[in-house]
Chain A
Amino acid sequence: MSLFKARDLWSARCGNDETFEKSSLLVADLWGQGSDHLTIGSHEGVLRIFHPFADAQVSPERGFSPIDVVIEIDVGQPILQLAAGRFISGSKSLSLAILHPRSLGVYNFTTIAGSTEHGDQSQVFMVYEHHLKRPAFCMVTGGFGGVDGRDFVCVLGLDGTLMFYEQETHILTRSLHNFLLPSPIVYIPHTDSFVILNSNWFLESYRYQILGEDNSEKPVPTWSYNLGESVNDMRYLGVTTTEAAVFVLTDWNLYCFNETGVMKYCKRLQYNPLCSTIYSRGEPTVMSLIVSDTNTLMVYEGTTLRWSAQLPNTPVAIDRGNFMGLAGCLVLLTEEGEVTLCYMGTEPTMFVPPPLQENALSSSEVETKLHTLQHQIATYSQSAKNSLGAPIGRPDLKMSLKVWPMLEGDSTCKLEVSIQAMTEIHSLHVNVCVTHPLVAIPNSHHVQNLGDSVELYSAVSLVASYTAPWELEATILAVYLRSDMTSGSAEASILLPTPLVLELAPPAKESEASLYLSTSQPVILPTIFPEFGADSWNETGSNESVAGFKYKNFPDLTFTLSVNKGQQKYRIDSNSITAITLPLNILSRKMENKNLKTAQHTFALNELFDATDNNIELRNLIRTLQDNIKVGTAQMRAVQRRMLSKMRDKTPSDLTALSDLISYTNDHVMQVSHDIETAQKDLKENCTRLGNLVKMTILLIKLTGSVNAEDLKQFSEALSHTDFISESQGWAEATEAGLNHMLRTTLARSMREQYMPPFSEGSVVTNSNNLKKYIAVVIDRMVKSIRREDRAVSPILEGEEDGREGFHSPRPTLYEDFDTEVQKLLSQTSIAGTVMSDVD
């Protein structure tokens, strides 16, 4: 984030695939010509010296030219650090010290002036070399011991050894204790001491004199400061003749100390620093250059930010140099060896946001598009709807189902699903759906990689329940992924054998409920139930025209089926209405085209209403209990908080009362939880019963023979969600919404009814009156079979004027219509007693 950008002046690239780091760059006036040289040494051992703008006549805009390279030589060993100083005894000129991992070399150079524009010829040669006993980390140079005019070298080893060399001679080796990871080291001439960070992250200063004294085993630091951070970079700057500045850069802060270890200033950085350098402008202030990891250069005077500029690349080393008339030029070296000279232009390069793409359409275009879309919607026909869902091409898989024959005394039946892949499919999920109280184990199979074909097995059995099973159809649903990661599905169904749920019993004489069915061609009973052997028919006293059955899951539930061939009638007697559903289902399936009929379409309505009441009561109860548990747990938390705060009190107090309260609350919550569990079990049972009765009602309505198939389909879709229980939506809500919709649309009798308020989404049914009314009215209207064309189904509000008063009246007159209709209906049938009392 900065307004300015550093401007490129000169740049060169050093080799390919060479490694550089912070200490690889040295900016010094090696030749004493008044302008600096760039000396760069890589870890691969190549030493390069550049002299930018060597030719003063050429304008600085020229950039890099080959004559700027003074020397490029492979010294044969990795170059860790470079230093310039007076390292050769008897010579006042600058020479170059190069630190290699195992040696320290001092080099000098000669220049032969050239006569052409190819420039001068320079050579570098080694003057002397010290071999190091330990691997080196870095070096620091200076006139140790207050020497003037000569420079000595101190090499810091990776293991914390300081090796001192006074020009050609090795003086001493001293080990620092408390040293683990190497840290930068600086030499302060003012106090003749070295500053280094020890392993405990203390900054310590050792006097050269103390280090030199042989007798001290552990050198004592003259001062130390607990820095608490590892150091990124450390630099020394003589501010005045008496005052020095030790500049320390860490990952989070920058510090500046004076020569006696007193902090001058400290600044917390809000970015990650990469590299830095410091300089003085001649005043007693310290200027620092810091590069952040967002490639921004910050120029600080003390702690104040003076300038910031965006850099063209990410440098690992930064320095400042003087080149032919350009004082204070920035030198940047990247990790890959790109060396750049920059200056800080004062003209801001402002951020220019990219132009917006013009994707807005004109209003006429939008209008045309809207018309096209509307036309598409209008011409979207029923046939198009059907063709959309139709499978394209051949199916992806072939599914065949087989029920294994049941042996005598078997209580489960084995279902085999064999799937043959026609195309490449994977992640196959197969669900086996049977209606409760039948269960399939396992009810879901997963095949990750389908080879050619696979056989899956599930066992279907009956669980204990008070309700008789009513549906023997098992549905198998397969979901899979194709090779292009689109999903597909396939469905198949099969009838389970009757002996799984039924066995023969002596026909009962008396019954509580009887259902009469008429047919054009009666069929004898063993034809309808071919699975039972002749022995069992004889044993139980059943014959061609009368047979008794009992359910395996609840033997008290029985029914007797009899056929009267003369009168062409079937009769089903039972001690429970729910037991009749299964024979009815079987009969209607087996005699589909033999004109089976009945007039008793309200036969199970009474029971259905009872079950509806029960369903809603149970759901109300569960809600109440949930509220209770919410209050209970809230109380629990409150008490626990109180307990916590009491325990933290300074003065201990009696906690028995709170403990009692906690255990009481716990008991309460546990009790309510058990109640909820029981209620949920009851609800499950109730749903099974509801499913049974709904199925029977639908079958009976179908058997009246006067019902429109489309209506019946909608009706059964509206009612058949008994398995579905969620917290906010149960059977009652789904049904009420569905029936409400039917009454408003396909079954609406007048325009007025179309304005009936719709069932609002998210509302909860707490009272069964409306629902029962809806069921009764829908059945009545379906059976009366008003032709669909005659109904007021027009979606356009033609009758605006006569619809208006109905719409605005607080209680639509429609309801009164309903009430009278319901009463009429009830007076016809036997269910008057129960529902009449509910009608307000």
Chain B
Amino acid sequence: MDKFYEAFSLYRKRHFEKCAAVCTELLEKNPYDQAAWTLKMQSLTAQVMVDDIEAQEEGIADTLLDSETIAQAARPGTSLKTGANPTTAAGMRPRGATGRPLSGMVRPATQTGRATSLENALKTPRTARSARPVTSQAARTIRLGTASMMTQPDGPFIQITRLNLAKYATTEGIAKPLFLYIFYHENDVRNALDLAVEATKAAQFKDWWWKVALAKCYTTLGLTRDAEQQLRSALKQVPTIDAYLRLANLYTKLDQPLNVLELCTAGLQLFPNEVTLSQEIARVLEGLNNIPASVRYYREILNEDSTHVEAIACIAVNYFYCDQPEVALCFYRRLLQMGIYNAELFNNIGLCCYYAQHYDMMVNCFERALSLAAEETAAEVWYNVSHIAIVSSL
């Protein structure tokens, strides 16, 4: 059995650690084996790589020292921060602590509270859940960096500082995995940027991949406008869903929801019915308090992918606040049947049961919610229980 074949087979089966170990053996025999070197690099990267598009979270420093703000008080409907006037119709929803309307699903960006001043921001108690005070990186990215800090018995695999980046940038086949390794495994954005700059030059600015890579670096470094330029250019060359999503995230960060809508709509022309793009639109519309339009997009998502949890949850919330708890109950029940089993869901089902006057089910649901609830959620569940107890004079 060929050792390299074995390593590659392990890589395909996602046994990345074993693969890296076999590659290490191969490299001990022949330190100049480029293929083994690249495979080890890829498997090390794959160990820590996560989908970083959704993980972008704004740090307090980004929010406060934001040099990209165009207007302090944006016109209604053009910013996620101001939000539109609350409608008086039946679909009115309460707002969360962030000032945005409540959503059916908790996502990275919906949780950050906006502090009014730096002093307040620094004073807020920090938990693993709240935003980190002074960082522009996503919480997950920070965790990724720890892979490089892990002590490896024989020193780090690659000494980034000793690499001749200009040479590797021109080596096709190594440059791209090397970039991913430096960016995701080592979390060394500066060197990754150097490599990307060299490589995009070597590719005569014709490879969209390097432009997206540059944009990733720029985004992490907070150079939002430069990142935007690179992504636009990449999209012009080869439109990819990945680039559309990254650009949409940038615009969300810049607080330009209308640009996000325009961009994603253009993306949907090229990639019809793409779930992630529709999802982005639905989220932004929800943030703009345009709930009916948002729900329309969520419905489209469900047509395409009927197991989409976020879409089901958001539609359910909409029905709930539109005074149709029975319909909301159907959606929540579907989530339960699909195997989602947590306190929030049981709490919501309990509330729906209450408003739909299924009093017999209600108490059961809340009991389950309480038995599943962690510290913070328990408070919210108790709040609902108290509300129901008061109203139904239990």
Contact = CB atoms under 8 A, between A and B. Distances in A.
Interface string A629-651: 01000100100010011001000
Contact of B14 (A272, A356, A645): A272
A182 B174 CA distance: 13
Given A178-B173, A645-B67, A230 B307 contact: no
A422 interface: no
Most chain A CB within a 10 A radius of its CB, from B174, B338, B368, B371: B338
A351 interface: yes
A630 B5 contact: no
A328 interface: no
A181 B35 contact: yes
Contact of B304 (A252, A304, A350, A351): A304
B338 A3 contact: yes
B344 to A, nearest CB: 14
A43 B1 contact: yes
B273 A135 contact: no
B5 A101 contact: yes
Contacts of A634: 118-119
B111 interface: no
Interface residues of B, number: 57
B39 interface: yes
B265 interface: no
A335 B13 contact: yes
A158 B5 CA distance: 7
A325 B46 CA distance: 43
Given A201-B209, A637-B118, A316 B307 contact: no
Given A178-B173, A272-B14, A353 B336 contact: yes
Interface stretch (A140-148, A260-268, A748-756): A260-268
Contacts of B67: 644-645, 648
Interface string A377-391: 000000000000000
B323 interface: no
Contacts of B341: 351, 353
A312 interface: no
Contacts of A268: 241-242, 245, 274-276
B126 interface: no
A274 B14 CA distance: 8
A199 interface: yes
B226 interface: no
B339 A226 contact: no
B357 interface: no
Nearest to B309: A1
A232 B173 CA distance: 16
B307 A199 contact: no
B173 A199 contact: yes
B338 A1 contact: yes
Interface string A96-112: 00000100000000000
Given A22-B12, A181-B39, A232-B12, A226 B5 contact: no
B367 interface: yes
A308 B209 contact: no
A348 interface: yes
Contacts of B212: 228
A456 B338 CA distance: 66
The range of chain A's interface size is 35 or more
B168 to A, nearest CB: 13
Contacts of A293: 14
A559 interface: no
Interface in A326-362: 335, 348, 350-351, 353, 356
Contacts of A159: 35
Contacts of A135: 2, 4-5
A840 to B, nearest CB: 36
A351 B4 CA distance: 43
B368 A356 contact: yes
B146 interface: no
A304 B14 CA distance: 26
A22 B12 CA distance: 8
B212 to A, nearest CB: 8
B336 A351 contact: yes
B306 interface: yes
B9 A253 contact: no
Contacts of A637: 118
Contacts of B46: 251
Contact of B51 (A19, A252, A305): A252
A122 interface: no
A228 B206 CA distance: 13
Nearest to B51: A252
A726 interface: no
A22 B374 CA distance: 42
Given A226-B238, A272-B14, A350 B209 contact: no
A36 interface: no
Interface in A390-433: none
Contact of A21 (B9, B272, B305): B9
Interface string A355-377: 01000000000000000000000
B219 interface: no
Interface in B259-289: 271-276
A78 B336 CA distance: 46
Contact of B119 (A21, A199, A630): A630
A180 B35 contact: yes
B65 interface: yes
A536 interface: no
B34 interface: yes
Contacts of A356: 367-368, 371
B208 interface: yes
Nearest to A354: B341
Most chain A CB within a 10 A radius of its CB, from B12, B65, B118, B336: B12
A270 interface: yes
Interface in A175-190: 178-182
A228 B307 contact: no
B92 interface: no
11 contacts: A19-B9, A43-B6, A135-B5, A226-B208, A267-B274, A267-B275, A303-B304, A351-B336, A356-B367, A644-B67, A648-B67
Q: Lowest 10 CB-CB distances: which A-B pairs, in order? A: A199-B173, A180-B173, A228-B209, A200-B172, A351-B339, A350-B337, A305-B305, A135-B2, A268-B241, A78-B1
Given A228-B212, A648-B67, 10 more contacts: A3-B334, A21-B13, A158-B5, A180-B38, A198-B173, A228-B240, A266-B241, A266-B271, A267-B275, A303-B274
